[in-house]
Amino acid sequence: MTDQRPLHPDTVAVHSGRGDLADLGVHALPIDLSTTNPLPDIERGGDSYEAMAGGGRPIADGSLVYARLWNPTVARFEDALAEMEHAEAAVAFSSGMAAMTAVILAHTGATGKHHVVAVRPLYGGTDHLLGSGLLGTETTFCHPSEVGVSIRQDTALVIVETPANPTLELVDIAEVVAAAGDVPVVVDNTFATPILQNPLDHGAAMSLHSATKYLGGHGDVIAGVVACSETTAEALRRVRAVTGGLLHPLGAYLLHRGLTTLPVRMRQQQENAQRIVQWLIDQPEVDEVFFPGLDGDPQGIVKRQMHGTGAMIAMRMRGGYSAAGAVASAVSLFTHAVSLGGVDSLIQHPAALTHRPVPADARPDADVLRLSIGLENADDLIADLAQAFTRVGSGAQASGAATASPAQG
C-alpha cells in the first residue's frame, strides 16, 4: 500500500514479503537452512520458544530456536501470500493435505466440536480424508444450498472448493458464509489463486491452497498454505509445531519466487484455456465442456467474486470411459499426469486417479477428463487434442453406452 492508492496485484506479487531485504543488504531472496539457532541466554531463548510453540511469533531480541517453530524463508513466503490474499497472516505446510489436516485439527479436537460440513465436489484427497473419519470427525456432505440445514451445535467447520475439482462447479462464497453463521468457512482456492479470487473478501475465514499447483507453477515443489486472521494463524502454527508438518525453506523460496510471475502466468494460461474451450465445444467427440462462465454465469458468481475464469477445463467424452482413456494416452504435448497449475499442460482422468478414493455415488463420471492448460501456444495444444481425437477414431465418436470403468468398482 502506498500513501496514494493500493498497489496493483501485479506489483504486490513482485514486492510482497521482501520488506527486510534492503536491511539485510541483499536483492534476491535468501534461503535460511538452519535447523537450530543460537540462544542469546536461557531466559530469552525460553521465552521465544514458549511464544512460538504456542503459535505466536518470535519475541524481539530472542531466538528462532528451532526450525520446526519458525523459519525466516518460510515466513517471508507466508507474508507475501497473506498480502496477496488480503489476510492478516498465512501459515505454510509441507503439502496441501497437511494444510487441510491442520485446519481440521485446529477447529476440532480441543474445541470439543467434531462435525464438519463439506460441499461437494471437492478434491479427492480432501473428500477421502473427511469421509474416512481418520481425524475423529463426522462429516455431512451436501450441496451449497444445504449448508444452513446441515449445521449442528457441534459443527466446527464448513469446507468449500470453488471452482471445484474436477468439474469447475462454482459456489457463492458469501451465500455459504451467511448460511454457516458463526461456523468458520474455509475455501480451497487452489484453482482460482489469489489473482482471480480472494475468499476472505467475501467473508470466508480461511483461503487454502495446494501451493504445489499455481503458486509454485513449475511442478518442482509440494506445499500447502492457509491465509487467515492472526488468531487462526496461531492455532494453525500450534498444530504445525506439534505435528511437524512444516514446509522446507527451499520449497518456501521456490514458492515465493513463483508468486512474482503468478499474475502473468495466470493471464496467459487463462487466455489459452478460453481459446481451447471455444474449440472443444464444437468437437463431435466431446459431449460437454465444463468451464466457469461457459453457461453465461446465470448466478453471477464469476462476475461477483472472481477476476477471471482460470485455466482448468473438464470435458465429457462422447465415447465414454474407453474414449477418455484413449485420448489421455494419445496426446503428446499434454503430459498424462496428475497435478495441475504448472507452465506445461497436463491431462488426467479424475475418476481413475485423483478422485478414486471418493465413494462411487460422488465420484466424477468415468467419461470425464480434466485439463490443466499451460503456457504453450494455444494452437499447438489444440492440434495435439485434435490428433488425439482422430487417433481414437470411431471409438471416441460412438454415442452408445460407456464402457464400465474399473474406477467405478
Which positions are annotated as active-site residues? 68, 123, 188, 213
Look-up: residue for cell 468458520? 184
- CA separation, residue 349 to residues 109, 254, 315 (Å): 35, 28, 10
Peptide bond before 357: cis, by omega within 30 degrees of 0? no
- Decide: 102 and 230 in contact? Cβ < 8 Å: no
Give the C-alpha separation, 222 to 213, whole Å.
8
∠ Cα 194 346 372 (to 5°)? 35
Nine cell digits for residue 75: 515466513
Q: How many CB atoms lie within 10 A of CB 43?
A: 10
Q: Is 376 exposed, middle or buried (0-12, 13-18, 19+ CB in 10 A)?
A: middle
- CA separation, residue 31 to residues 28, 48, 249, 254 (Å): 10, 22, 6, 10
- What is the SS3 assignment for 181? coil
Give the C-alpha separation, 357 to 351, whole Å.
9
- Label the pairing between strands 335-336 and 346-348: parallel
Nine cell digits for residue 342: 504448472
The gap from C-alpha 6 to its chain's centroid, in whole angstroms, comes to 26
- Decide: 73 and 248 in contact? Cβ < 8 Å: no
∠ Cα 175 339 331 (to 5°)? 120
Look-up: residue for cell 501470500? 81
* Residue type (1 letter), 315: M
Q: By C-alpha distance, which of 119, 189, 192 is closest to 159? A: 119
Give the C-alpha separation, 378 to 397, whole Å.
24
- Decide: 140 and 118 in contact? Cβ < 8 Å: yes
